[in-house]
Structure 1
Amino acid sequence: MVRWKTWLLLSILIHVVTKIDAVEVTINQGKLAGTILQSRNATKFYAFFGIPYAKPPIGELRFQPPQEPDKWNGVRNATILPPSCLQKNVFNKASSEVIGSEDCLYLNIYTPSIQRENNYNNLPVMVYIHGGSFLNGNGKMYQGSYFMDYPMVLINFNYRLGPLGFLSTVDEELPGNYGMKDQVAALKWVQENVAIFGGDPKQVTIFGHSAGGVSVHLHLYSPLSKGLFQRAIAQSGSALTIWAQVAPHVARQRAFAFGLLSGCPTQSSRVLVNCLRKIPAEDIIHTVDKFWVWDFDPLISFGPVIESKSIHNAFLIENPRKQKIINNVPLIIGTTSGEGGIRAARYYSNNGTLVKKVNEQYKRIMPVTLIYGFVLPHEKIDTVTDELKKFYFGNKEIGLETSKEFVDMLTDSLFLFHCVEAALRNKEITYFYYYDHLNKFSLNNLLGNYPGNLGVCHGDDIISFFPVFGFRTSHESDTNVSRRLVNYWVNFATNGNPGESEHLWQPITSNEMNYLHITSKEDKLEKYLLKDKYEFLKNLQLIHSHSAESLPTLKDEL
């Protein structure tokens, strides 16, 4: 298994071994010294690392919206990868190591052009938002060597994570969504500076995976994000999914519980937040795992939240289920075919030790793992739990012989259903994909040691876009799929049509649920993904308490 420190080391080495030379550029804040690298096709490009897009959110700026970055004198070294935002590897419960820094609001730029050379002008810009359950991850892992085969600008960045980014009492003292407001600040920085790197600020595409995909879709609903991008790609995440927001009453309860666990007084939000600003940041990160109910579930205890309309510059003031999209831009959205495999791999490791416990304690564990136990009325939880087991397993036990059924339940409930639902709400300008290629390397292998095949899991598509976790597309079929996928994404960012030809990949229409089925050998246009599963999950209403509206049927939406 590739360990946490190894992932970061490999990410750094990718940059070091391909360095060719250095280059300087001047932006609004001052001068930068970057480096020159090579793309997958050996095309020269420029890279600038660790550019501050906001002031360090430390001291009194902890639990505050991001502030304008400072200027500097002299030349800033932009050849060193910035630290991650403070976090620890939640998938390794045996490790208590906290990595990163509270001073972490930096972005990285990859471009074939800088202003002084003027090789290109008005290039399409793609801004990547990393995933990691709003607890883990960083921008630097997603370096640009695959995308730099094309004339375009790629940008990635860090944003605050865990309680430092998302703790909320749902009032003026601690409204939350600091990580999302960091993302807005990064997008504003792009608008002000990207032309210096050859990019067109009026041709920005935001894209992201998992929590990054949720973030991308949430930006479509945020008044703060208006005008900051023109296209969006949400991979394995939607603003409508059950883990896209923490219910306001749950967020407030967790914030005060966090205070008690941290030794802070909790008679008011103001007293609580003033105390939390004085606690060492590492101690705040260590407190996260005290909110796990079973194993590391609920994985997302602190995430985006709906803010009060009275909050100045609120990121999200209404549940996306109850409002129309504010930033109605062309969208690509989709999933892998076996998203749930990344979670199932842990359960099925060591001869299925954890999955046996799931079978024995199903009614206690499943509402926590699938999160609906925190949002549904208490009297509905057992009914939903029973219906899920009946639909996916029938009379079978949850165990080694039913791994596919278990993966399907996790995939559909946590990812696929809500991505399809989101696509159906934005017909005519939305393209859906279904990634069904099994790479030589899979993220299943990172989180468990189950020897069997659990499918194309959550995150396996990221290997097609970036050389993450030290994985490179060395196998011929992996490389072919990677080149096709990067081409689709760049086409979309360039002209709004991912498939070059409308016959290859058509958007969802009023009559047809079109989607691109991405396979190892070829990509095929197909229709009506999910079918009976969509109707079952719609009627089950896993997130009933989040919205009073009735969900559309698949047929009615088309």
Structure 2
Amino acid sequence: MPRFDGTQFAKQGVVIVTTNYRLGRFGFFGHPALTAAASQSGEVLGNYGYMDQIAALKWVQRNISNFGGDPGNVTVFGQSAGGESIHNLLTSPLATGLFQKAINESGNGRVNQYYGRTLTRNAKTVGASAEEQGALFAQGFGINGSDTSALQAMRALSADQIVDGLNSSTLNSPHSLATFSGGSIVDGKLVLDEPENLYKNGQFTKVPLMLGVNNADLGFSTPGISTKEQAYAIFGPQNLGAAAAAFDPSGTASVASIESQISRVITMDEPARFIARTFTSAGVPTYLYRFSYVAQSVREKISGATHGAEIPYVFDTLSSTYGTAVTSQDEQVAQRMIAYWAAFAKTGNPSDAGLTNWPAYDVALDSQMEFTPAGTLQVNQPSPLKAQIDLIEPLNDANKTVNRQYQ
């Protein structure tokens, strides 16, 4: 994909490796017949997509020196679902020692990332287990039971039958929700638990971390919100005034914009601060950013940096997204971003890029680097969203935002 072309990273002196991994039911799938067949071998099950990522990292360890790379200086990075992958790699014992630094772009990592989905039903399961979803999928093809004949019948299905119409547009249809795990499965070997729980318990690989979100990032608004009072109800009656002051200080914001901002802070901004605080408190160098820049050619159409908007800047591949409309200011932002990312990959400190000093996150200062709407670099201490994030934090701590986020 042109946006992920690594040429500009190579020019920064970085060897970049992009990997494919299995998706859909090929990547994340459980079934009682698979579990039964693996009961003696102790085989890892369910998260086949993450197994691919770990296999790729092991390949890097074996081979990257042949390409001029250093197997002792590996940085993993990903965005969105790729950011979720980074959380899994940071908290999986099967990935220990395979990388020395991590970058997470818009990866959440806080609130019910796996929807409470375990491989096999147990006391922690929320909704259906992956095995139950897999069994329902198989039943749609007349395959029942958990014996070897059921396993053989499933393995005889064609690729198209296994995909069964699943794609990003049908993922949330009732049929797909019922029969597809949707992503990470708590299997107890590769994925031990929700990343939030593992981070809180200190069960993570303590390597330098860079992470951040965009100022108009992803959120999951609650349907049916038609008044500001309904939007603020999640904060409780004692916090209605504080919520109004934080999310609508002028009193002129629309209900839709308020609800969108609340959902973004739930999904992205507060989790990023939670992780930055957690890593910093563990003595790990952590660098937090906020990306607020919008390409000059689309500013009349787009008011903020949406989910994934930072990618062509990080890779300095702006023409893949904006064609010939790329301006000198746009390109300057890209050059600064890739310089920071490359410096962090090399040394673990983005300030080694020689640009504006990017301070490590400080819990008391709540410090972060902002790539501003004007195209400049600005160190914010504290975050401009501090009041909003402070309101969301206790809700995310108590997992009171799960239904709002995913319903």
The structure that is helix-richer by fraction is 2
One-letter amino acid of the structure 2 residue matched with residue 316 of structure 1: V
| Secondary structure of the corresponding residue to residue 289 of structure 2 | strand
Question: C-alpha separation between the residues in 1 aligned to 2:270 and 2:305?
Answer: 17
Q: CA deviation at 1:522?
A: 1.7
Question: C-alpha separation between the residues in 2 aligned to 1:431 and 1:281?
Answer: 42
**1:150 and 2:12 correspond:** yes
Could you tell me whether the CA contact under 8 Å between 2:235 and 2:391 is conserved in 1?
no
Q: CA deviation at 1:296?
A: 9.8
Query: Given the two structures, how large is their TM-score scaled by the length of structure 2?
Result: 0.76
Question: C-alpha separation between the residues in 1 aligned to 2:386 and 2:275?
Answer: 15
One-letter amino acid of the structure 2 residue matched with residue 539 of structure 1: P
**1:191 and 2:68 correspond:** no
Where does residue 434 of structure 1 map in the other structure? Answer: 290
Where does residue 254 of structure 1 map in the other structure? Answer: 133
Question: C-alpha separation between the residues in 1 aligned to 2:397 and 2:146?
Answer: 33
Q: CA deviation at 1:198?
A: 0.5
Could you tell me whether the CA contact under 8 Å between 1:434 and 1:517 is conserved in 2?
yes
1:183-234 residue CA offsets vs partner (Å, 9 max, x unmatched): 0000000110101101111011111111111111221111111111111000
Could you tell me whether the CA contact under 8 Å between 1:246 and 1:303 is conserved in 2?
no
Question: Mind listing any 5+ residue stretches in structure 2 that lack a counterpart?
Answer: 37-43, 119-124, 403-407
Q: CA deviation at 1:172?
A: 3.0
1:396-438 residue CA offsets vs partner (Å, 9 max, x unmatched): xxxx944432431331122222121111100041110001111
1:204 is matched with which residue: 54, 74, 82?
A: 74
Question: C-alpha separation between the residues in 2 aligned to 1:274 and 1:469?
Answer: 48
**1:303 and 2:177 correspond:** no
1:7-31 residue CA offsets vs partner (Å, 9 max, x unmatched): x6xx4xxxxxxxxxxxxxxxxxxxx
| Secondary structure of the corresponding residue to residue 213 of structure 2 | strand
**1:265 and 2:114 correspond:** no
Where does residue 420 of structure 1 map in the other structure? Answer: 273
Question: C-alpha separation between the residues in 2 aligned to 1:528 and 1:147?
Answer: 31
| Secondary structure of the corresponding residue to residue 351 of structure 2 | coil
| Secondary structure of the corresponding residue to residue 172 of structure 1 | helix
Q: CA deviation at 1:503?
A: 7.2
Could you tell me whether the CA contact under 8 Å between 1:142 and 1:468 is conserved in 2?
no
Alignment of 1:118-129 (within 5 A): none
One-letter amino acid of the structure 1 residue matched with residue 205 of structure 2: N
Question: C-alpha separation between the residues in 2 aligned to 1:470 and 1:502?
Answer: 26
Where does residue 521 of structure 1 map in the other structure? Answer: 375
RMSD over aligned Cα atoms: 3.9
| Secondary structure of the corresponding residue to residue 35 of structure 2 | coil
Where does residue 475 of structure 1 map in the other structure? Answer: 327
One-letter amino acid of the structure 1 residue matched with residue 157 of structure 2: I
1:475-515 residue CA offsets vs partner (Å, 9 max, x unmatched): 11110110000000111111111012697111123533211
Residue 546 to residue 435, structure 1, CA distance change in 2 (3 Å): closer
Alignment of 1:129-144 (within 5 A): 142-144=4-6
Q: CA deviation at 1:307?
A: 0.9
Where does residue 21 of structure 2 map in the other structure? Answer: 159
Could you tell me whether the CA contact under 8 Å between 1:166 and 1:177 is conserved in 2?
yes
Q: CA deviation at 1:455?
A: 1.7
1:331 is matched with which residue: 194, 209, 217?
A: 209
Count, aligned residues: 359
1:247-270 residue CA offsets vs partner (Å, 9 max, x unmatched): 22334343233223x324343386
Q: CA deviation at 1:169?
A: 4.4
Residue 307 to residue 509, structure 1, CA distance change in 2 (3 Å): same
2:95 is matched with which residue: 219, 222, 225?
A: 225
| Secondary structure of the corresponding residue to residue 17 of structure 2 | strand
2:399 is matched with which residue: 544, 547, 554?
A: 544
**1:405 and 2:285 correspond:** no
| Secondary structure of the corresponding residue to residue 432 of structure 1 | strand
Query: Given the two structures, how large is their TM-score scaled by the length of structure 1?
Result: 0.57
Question: C-alpha separation between the residues in 2 aligned to 1:247 and 1:235?
Answer: 24
Residue 384 to residue 545, structure 1, CA distance change in 2 (3 Å): closer
**Which structure would you say has the larger RCO, counting Cα contacts within 8 Å and 6 or more residues apart?**
2
| Secondary structure of the corresponding residue to residue 310 of structure 2 | helix
1:318 is matched with which residue: 163, 171, 193?
A: 193
One-letter amino acid of the structure 1 residue matched with residue 185 of structure 2: V
Could you tell me whether the CA contact under 8 Å between 2:293 and 2:304 is conserved in 1?
no
One-letter amino acid of the structure 1 residue matched with residue 288 of structure 2: F
**1:168 and 2:21 correspond:** no
Residue 472 to residue 385, structure 1, CA distance change in 2 (3 Å): same
Question: C-alpha separation between the residues in 1 aligned to 2:344 and 2:147?
Answer: 45
Could you tell me whether the CA contact under 8 Å between 1:245 and 1:303 is conserved in 2?
no
Where does residue 40 of structure 2 map in the other structure? Answer: none
Where does residue 159 of structure 2 map in the other structure? Answer: 281
| Secondary structure of the corresponding residue to residue 283 of structure 1 | helix
Could you tell me whether the CA contact under 8 Å between 1:169 and 1:251 is conserved in 2?
no
